[in-house]
Amino acid sequence: MISTKKIGMMEKVPPHVFFLVSALFRYLGPAFAVLLFAHVSVLGVAWLRIASAAVVFAAWRRPWRLFMSTSWAIRRILIALGVVLGLMNACFYLAIARIPLSTVGAIEFLGPITLAALGARTPRNISALLLAAAGGWLLTDARFSGSPLGFGFAFANCLLFILYIVLGHRIAEDGGAAGIDRLGAAMLIALLAVSPLGLTDALPAFPQPLLLLAGIGVGVCSSVIPYVCDQLAMARLPRATYALLLSLLPASATIIGIVVLHQLPKPIEIVGILFVVVAVILHKEADVQPKKHAKSV
């Protein structure tokens, strides 16, 4: 349960802060996952990520209660989101096992920038959109080489990421607290969706406590912290604004790639990062009516 007092405290935190925390952890976890690939197969790591996140949400939120009591319209959204989460994470890991993390982050950005384009209504925001697109292109073009299969998985992840944003905003409409419960239910469905693909590959990690703990750490960093922060940000930001903020993903992926994986950027990538940062600063949110948040969950 999230109390009214806690909801009030969270509402005092600017939504952009939640987004920045999400952007940081979104690629920090996968960067550690890359280090696990030497011991556990790619789909096994993806399963460990989703399974550990599902266990955390189950213990914290008990989301099955919401799933059983909600309408079929909401259940369909949760089932769709769960399947999207499962497949998105699998495609993401299959991509970063083949091409650099910053490249995957740049391709992932192409989906959100499309959503931002649909929401751009002022010359200032259109300019920010074009600048962000240019930055994303520089980041993508600078590393557009490597495994064709890796790029196939990266673009599949991009399409699934668009669906995640759209469905994520749908479950966040009643406020961050309600969205977190719905996210927890979707994560349990994601576990069911990905188990046929990755459970067998994850079994070698079970007798090895350090690998199992590493997998749990990846799940918390990749699927609990960022997805919860996404809900808290989506509940208070227009979808176009949130989509443009996601332009920071290529930059955060590049920075994490430097720090954790020692994948050094080229000068053109640094220029691309600067373009994206300036675009986010230039963007101005549209005036929207504040959403009515649930008092308790």
Residues 94-100: what's their mean pLDDT? 86
- Greatest mean pLDDT among 88-102, 149-163, 275-289 lies in 149-163
Ordered by start, the domain boundaries in the chain are: 4-282
| Residue from 22, 47, 6 nearest 175 by CA | 6
pLDDT in tens, 171-189: 987 765 788 999 999 999 9
Q: Are 244 and 128 in contact (CB under 8 A)?
A: yes
Whole-model pTM?
Answer: 0.79
